[in-house]
Homo-oligomer: A and B are copies of this chain.
Amino acid sequence: MKHITQKELLDAEKQYRTNLMNCLSGPRMAVLVGTTNGAGQTNLAIFNSTLHIGAHPPLVGLIFRPDSVDRHTLTNIRKTGQYTINAVGMHFYEQAHHTSARYPAEMSEFDAAGLTPMYSERLKAPYVGESTLRFGLKLKEEVPIQSNGTWLVIGEVQEIWLKAVLLKDDGSLRLDQAGIVAAGGLDHYYSLEFLAALPYAKPKM
């Protein structure tokens, strides 16, 4: 086993440390967050910080880093109170990655990446037509993290759109179906292979 001390981590070159720390917390679903600025301009940005907060009410969290130079997504969420989360699929993950390029606010990443905005009756924020698992949210809570100025933004799920093959009778999702992609760190992408659904664990005593 290789051992890296905290001192070695802090002394490492900035990009090395950034890569290592971004990868350390493991793979997470790559998602595109869709917003508008409230005046017709759409925005799309890639994240891999989606997390489960609760089922009742149905709450999902996203982390926003303080060092993002252009935080159009967070600005738009604060302005409109609405956003969509769209799982990235194997058939468009390269296009999805391209939304991380720094485009000016007046240009939509939908156009830049060649992705299709779609709208539902319930929400003004745009969905990504190519995504096989997407859901719309209303802003519920912004939680400041003192340690480094990061924000945990929590939304309440308004509706879910998904390819029927994903959904099992018990409400579970087979995330390997329909080509859902995980990202680890800033730029490493993975597909999923199903291992097992294990039964509820009971003490052996």
Residues of chain A having any CB pair with chain B under 8 Å: 1-6, 9-10, 12, 14-29, 31, 49-61, 63, 65, 87, 90, 93-94, 97-103, 107, 112, 122, 132-133, 135, 140-141, 143, 145-148, 150, 152, 154, 156-164, 167-168, 170-176, 180-182, 184-185, 187-205
Number of copies of this chain that the complex holds: 2
Known: A9-B157, A27-B29. 20 other contacts (CB 8 A): A1-B161, A1-B163, A4-B159, A15-B171, A18-B171, A21-B60, A22-B52, A24-B133, A26-B29, A51-B51, A51-B63, A53-B63, A101-B204, A143-B143, A172-B188, A173-B185, A187-B198, A189-B194, A190-B193, A192-B192
In Å, the complex CA distance between A185 and B174 comes to 10
A-B interface, 9 closest residue pairs, ranked by CB to CB distance from nearest: A26-B29, A16-B171, A19-B171, A23-B173, A21-B55, A101-B201, A20-B171, A190-B192, A54-B148
